[in-house]
Amino acid sequence: LAKTTQPISMDSYEGQEVNITCSHNNIATNDYITWYQQFPSQGPRFIIQGYKTKVTNEVASLFIPADRKSSTLSLPRVSLSDTAVYYCLVVSYGGATNKLIFGTGTLLAVQP
Amino acid sequence: ETGVTQTPRHLVMGMTNKKSLKCEQHLGHNAMYWYKQSAKKPLELMFVYSLEERVENNSVPSRFSPECPNSSHLFLHLHTLQPEDSALYLCASSSGTSGLADTQYFGPGTRLTVL
C-alpha cells in the first residue's frame, strides 16, 4: 500500500479557499486517492475520491496531476464547521473488502 | 447519520470486567470493520469481515474477540483489558462489491475507558 504524506496542520480563516496537498509517490496503477474528514470523537466521513485529473462534488474538489504522485483537496470558502482532521488515503480495490490505512492526517483550524 | 450505529457510546470498565461493543449497519452492506483510535495516534484497523466471515485480523490481542452473526451486526467482545486499551473504537461498513471503488461508512464510535 502506498504511503501518504500530508502537512500535520493548517490554519485558515472563514471564507477562504483551503488547499491540502498529499504526496503518494508509490501509488500503484489500481489505486484510488480518497479523502476522509473526522471531527473530534466521531468516525471519519468520506469526502471525495478520484483516480486522475479533477473530481468535484458538493463538498470539495480533488485535483490529481498526470503522474498521480500527489493530489490536492480543495475546500471552497471554509467555515468554522470545517475545522477537522482531513485524511488522505490511497486505496486498492479488487477484493470484497478494502483496507484503509490512515496516517495522522491534517488538522485544519478555521478561525473567524 | 451515516447508517452505522454503535452502542454504547461511552463505556468505563475495570480490567477484570467482560463487556461487548455492538455495531449495526442499516445500509445493506456485506463488509464490516473494527478500528481502534488511541489518543494522538492514527486509526488502526483491527478486524475485517466479509459476508460474516473474518478475512483479516491485524495481530490483535486475544482479549479482543470479534463476532459477526449476520451481515448487519458486528460485535467486539472485551475481557481482561489493560488501561492502554482505552481508546475510541470505530465500526465501519462497506458494500463489499468486488472490484469497485467502495466507500467505508463509519459509526460514531464507542469511547472506552479501562480503569
Residue B56 sits at the chain A interface (C-beta within 8 Å): yes
> How much is the average pLDDT of A72-87?
96
Q: Is residue A76 over pLDDT 90?
A: yes
> How much is the average pLDDT of A67-81?
96
Q: Is residue B47 over pLDDT 70?
A: yes
Q: Is the CB of residue A60 less than 8 Å from the CB of residue A47?
A: yes
Segment B3-24, tens digit of pLDDT: 999 999 999 999 888 999 999 9
> How much is the average pLDDT of B81-107?
84
Task: Give the pLDDT band of residue B98 (cuts 50, 70, 90).
Answer: low
**Spacing of C-alpha A67 from chain mean position:** 17
> How much is the average pLDDT of A54-64?
95
Residue A95: list chain B partners with CB under 8 A. 98
Task: Give the pLDDT band of residue A65 (cuts 50, 70, 90).
Answer: very high
Say what the pLDDT of residue A95 is: 61
Grid cell in block for residue A75 = 475546500
What φ, ψ does residue A32 adopt, rounded to 5°?
-110, 155
Q: Which candidate in A98, A101, A102, A106 is best for mutational testing of the B interface (most B CBs within 10 A)?
A: A98
Task: Give the pLDDT band of residue B99 (cuts 50, 70, 90).
Answer: very low
Q: Which residues contact B22 (CB under 8 A, 6 or more apart)?
A: B6, B7, B73, B74, B75
Under 8 Å CB pairs connecting chains A and B tally to 70
Grid cell in block for residue A41 = 470523537
Say what the pLDDT of residue B91 is: 97
Residue B5 sits at the chain A interface (C-beta within 8 Å): no
> How much is the average pLDDT of B95-106?
71
